[in-house]
Structures are given as C-alpha cells and as structure tokens.
C-alpha cells in the first residue's frame, strides 16, 4: 500500500519526536545511574569512616583497660585516678602549696607507679607525658620564685618527670609539659574546684612516626 503525501509528512514529523524522546530517556537514565553511583561512593566512604572510628575507639578502650590493669594497686589506694587514658594525681599529694618540691609521700607514690608504667610503656613502645596544671589564682609574688602559674606548673611537671627517671624510667621515655591555669577540670569559683585543678597528669602517648631517610635506602 502506498502512502499519500500527507501520511508521509506525518511520519516524517513523528520520527524526530521519538528520537528526541529516546535521547531524553537516555539522558535521564544516565543521570539516574550517576546518582546511584554517587550514592554508592558516599555509602562506601561512610562505611569506611565508621569502621575506622570503631577501630580507633576499640584501640583506645584496650589502652585504657590495659593501663587500669597495670595500675590496679595504686588505683585501689585512691591516690591516683585514670580518666581518658590519663593518670591524675592531686597536687596536694605531691607538693606543698606554691612549691615544686616533692613531699615524701608524693615521691613514694611516684615510686610505686614506675614498675607498672615501665612494663606498660615497654610493651607498647610509647612515651610518658607529664603535665602540670594549676588553679587560676596568681602565684605569690613575695618570693619571686616563679614568674606566673605557667612557670610553677612547668617546674612541678619537671620535678615529677625527674623523679620518675630517678626511680627507674628511661629518660628517653619521659617528657614534661606545662599548662598553668589552662584546661581546668573544675570551676575555680570554689576552693574544692581549685584543689582539683592543682594537679599533675601522667599520660602514655604514642611515639611520632619515624621520618624516612632522605634519598631513600641505599642498596
């Protein structure tokens, strides 16, 4: 059957419409595939991040439990605390007010910490950071011994670090840090809060990664 001229013209008009429709559907399908691919990538990234965070928390929990186990005897005495992997010692146990000289009972306490800390650090190849903190009250200016709270906290941290080394910890595993009145753990508005802020913290920390030798390994 032959088509007349009108039918041929109609067919010619319909063909481009279907072509455009097909191109549009192909474009939409491609966009849909790209969206699905993007969602898959995002989900994979989220899953990887979640796994990494879970592994990090598991490691931190294992470190905390190992530290508490190592320090079971000092912890049972109530003279030290462990929170977030940091060993806290009240400043009044270690020092007289405004002093960086260890009390006899303070040195005895530090001596009891050395054996378990030595084992803990040796098993993990970690370092020990000794940090000094004060309350927000200015140091007494009469003696002129310390410039400010930061200097007092530094001297106390150094005193504790040296005592730990004297009692047997390798000097290569211990370093000191000073924070002064920064990072309080309680309000300085009351004497009880200020007493909590006058403290020394001892925290095992991982060693920094060793830098690769310049130029790479030689044959």
Q: Positive or negative, the Cα torsion across 160, 156, 96, 87?
A: negative
Q: Can you give the pLDDT of all 219 residues of the chain as single tens digits?
A: 554 555 545 555 555 666 766 777 777 777 777 888 787 888 777 777 777 777 667 766 777 777 878 788 878 878 888 888 899 998 889 998 888 999 999 999 999 999 999 999 988 899 999 999 999 998 876 556 788 999 999 999 999 999 999 999 999 999 999 999 999 999 999 999 999 999 999 999 988 776 555 655 554
What is the reported pTM? 0.68
Residue 6's SS3 state is: helix
CA dist., res. 113 & res. 192, Å (int): 26
For the segment(s) 71-205, the CATH number from 3.40.50.2300, 3.30.1330.60, 3.30.70.920, 3.30.1490.20 is 3.30.1330.60
Residue 132: CB atoms within 10 A of its CB come to 30
Query: First-to-last CA distance in the chain?
Result: 86
Nearest CA to 166 out of 122, 126, 205, 108 is that of 108
The DSSP code for 172 is: G
CA dist., res. 214 & res. 142, Å (int): 53
In 71-187, which residue ranges form alpha helices assigned H by DSSP?
Answer: 72-77, 91-94, 104-124, 149-166
């Amino acid at each position: 059957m032959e088509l007349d001229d009108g039918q041929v013209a109609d067919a010619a008009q319909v063909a481009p419409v279907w072509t455009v429709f097909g191109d549009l559907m192909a474009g939409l399908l491609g966009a849909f595939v790209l969206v699905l691919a993007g969602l898959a990538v995002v989900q994979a990234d989220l899953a990887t991040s979640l796994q990494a965070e879970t592994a990090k928390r598991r490691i931190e929990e294992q470190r905390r439990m190992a530290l508490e186990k190592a320090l079971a005897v000092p912890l049972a005495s109530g003279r030290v605390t462990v929170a977030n992997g940091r060993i806290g010692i009240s400043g009044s146990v270690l020092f007289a007010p405004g002093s960086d000289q260890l009390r006899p009972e303070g040195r005895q306490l530090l001596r009891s910490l050395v054996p378990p800390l030595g084992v803990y650090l040796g098993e993990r190849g970690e370092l020990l950071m000794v940090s000094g903190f004060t309350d927000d009250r200015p140091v007494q200016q009469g003696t002129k011994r310390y410039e400010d709270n930061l200097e007092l906290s530094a001297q106390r941290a150094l005193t504790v670090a040296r005592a730990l080394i004297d009692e047997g910890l390798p000097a290569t595993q211990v370093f000191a840090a000073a924070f002064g009145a920064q990072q309080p753990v309680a309000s300085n508005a009351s004497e009880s809060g200020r007493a909590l802020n006058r403290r020394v913290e001892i925290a095992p920390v991982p060693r920094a990664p060793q830098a690769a030798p310049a130029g790479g390994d030689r044959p």
